[in-house]
Amino acid sequence: MSVTEQHLLDDWRRPSLWQRLSAFDWIWAMLVMAGTVYAHVRYHTLMDAYEVAILYGTAPALIALGWHFKAIRGFSLAVAALSLLGIWLYGQDLARSETSFLLKYLLSSQSAIMWMSALYVAATPVYFAASASRSEFVGRVATGMTWTATTMGLVGLMVRWRESYLISHDVGHIPVSNLYEVFILFSIITALLYLYYEGRYRTRALGGFVMLVISAAVAFLLWYTFDRGAHEIQPLVPALKSYWMKIHVPANFVGYGAFALAAMVGVAYLIRARQPADSDGLAARMIPDLDVLDDVMYKSIALGFAFFTVATILGALWAAEAWGGYWSWDPKETWALIVWLNYAAWLHMRLTKGWRGTPMAWWAIVGLFVTLFAFLGVNMFLSGMHSYGEL
């Protein structure tokens, strides 16, 4: 029986979701709703009706996520606690980032994001070391570093959101508006997706491969910070002053993160496929079975495709409101369509023709380069109505 068939059988044998819910699950739901109400009461003066709808729509999604991915609960609570502490330390004075020890070295947006960057890069060799040594302790250290990096990255974004309003209410905005901010978001989402599959399949062997692509994003982020001063908070251009940005961009980057995860799993697949099935070589000892890799790659692309489809539809609705038309064949839109068609074809060949294995792994890797050009290359080399995203 293959790994995929075993997972399907296990899922079929499980009790229903409602039967599996425990008292802790309901406590989690109450905490999320309490936090949602607190955020509404505390910040309703800065929110319009659409933003209130997004806030309350996010609550059931986070509750369901916590029921299915239990590790996200502690993560969410840590992010909430540290973010609120950072916001409280600021008070109404942005200059306190230079006088408060915790803000200066830990909780200001830039400090938290630097911690995120250092921990992601450091986790990469630790994951490989854990796989090579088969040390459970080293593996737990790598996982802990990744969870901590992801926590600090999201805290950095949340505190940055508050910092933008401390500059001016006219400047204040959700921090998903430029390449600097979305590269942080990309790193966080890719790491969370990986951590989910790490727990789901009970293997850390893919961690080093996934951390490679996150470390590459961190390298760009650091260059963009120190060479271009991109960490400085800037006012939004008029086209981005919309509630659509709050849902379109995160949905897009769930797609990008899932596609990146699938590509790195594809790299691991190609390395593992070169080893005979009964081999005891280093690759065979470090990398999971091909069935596991194939299953993770397929599920990552399916998830990414679903979110990317939703993001594309939301983008069209936003374009209609901002520019008067749903589609204008702008370079960014055209390349988004190319990305969508690429992964639609991948899923079609997988589901209808039964394609698996090495060709699909290569396709997933090539797909990442297509996605990378749509995400970054268009901003660098092409112009259009999305030119506000240029380097």
Residue-wise pLDDT for 142-157, tens only, equals 999 999 999 999 999 9
Question: Which pair of tokens denotes residue 39?
Answer: 């955020």
Report how far apart, in Å, the C-alpha atoms of 144 and of each of 71, 84, 114, 253, 285 are: 12, 22, 17, 23, 22
pLDDT band at 325 (very low <50, low <70, confident <90, very high): confident
Identify whether the C-beta of residue 233 lies closer than 8 Å to the C-beta of residue 300.
Answer: no
Distance CA 183, CA 249 (A): 11
Report how far apart, in Å, the C-alpha atoms of 97 and of each of 87, 90, 360 are: 11, 7, 49
What percent of the chain clears pLDDT 70, i.e. is strictly above it?
A: 90
pLDDT band at 229 (very low <50, low <70, confident <90, very high): confident
Distance CA 125, CA 146 (A): 12
Tell me the pTM: 0.90
101-105, 148-152, 191-195, 324-328: least confidently modelled range: 324-328
Residue-wise pLDDT for 102-129, tens only, equals 999 999 999 999 999 999 999 999 999 9
Q: Where are the alpha helices (DSSP H) in the chain?
A: 3-13, 17-20, 23-43, 49-68, 71-90, 101-102, 109-133, 136-167, 179-201, 207-228, 245-273, 282-286, 290-323, 331-352, 358-372, 378-381
> What is the average pLDDT value for the chain, to the nearest integer?
89
* DSSP one-letter code for 22: -
- Give the mean model confidence (pLDDT) for residues 160-186: 91
Distance CA 125, CA 111 (A): 23
- b/e code 292-313 from CB counts within 10 Å (16+ = b): bbbbbbbbbbbbbbebbebbbe
pLDDT of residue 46: 79
pLDDT band at 288 (very low <50, low <70, confident <90, very high): confident
Q: Which residue has the higher pLDDT, 218 or 273?
A: 218
Terminal-residue alpha carbon distance, the chain:
50
pLDDT of residue 324: 80
Torsion angle, alpha carbons of 297, 298, 299, 302, to 10: 120
pLDDT of residue 162: 93
Residue-wise pLDDT for 339-386, tens only, equals 999 999 999 999 998 899 999 999 999 999 999 998 888 877 766 656
pLDDT of residue 42: 87
Residues recorded for the chain? 391
Q: Which residue has the higher pLDDT, 364 or 236?
A: 364
pLDDT of residue 375: 85
Residue with tokens 């938290």: 112
What percent of the chain clears pLDDT 90, i.e. is strictly above it?
A: 62
SS3 (DSSP) at 238 = helix
pLDDT band at 283 (very low <50, low <70, confident <90, very high): low
Which of 193, 144, 145, 182 minimizes the C-alpha distance to 160?
Answer: 182
Residue-wise pLDDT for 27-41, tens only, equals 999 999 999 999 999
* DSSP one-letter code for 122: H
Query: How far out from the chain centre does Cα 293 lie?
Result: 20
Question: Which pair of tokens denotes residue 270?
Answer: 């190609």
Residue with tokens 């003066």: 45
Residue with tokens 């990146």: 260
Distance CA 215, CA 204 (A): 17
Which of 212, 121, 113, 223 minimizes the C-alpha distance to 157?
Answer: 113
For the chain, give every domain's residue range. Answer: 106-389
Name the amino acid, one letter, at 245: M
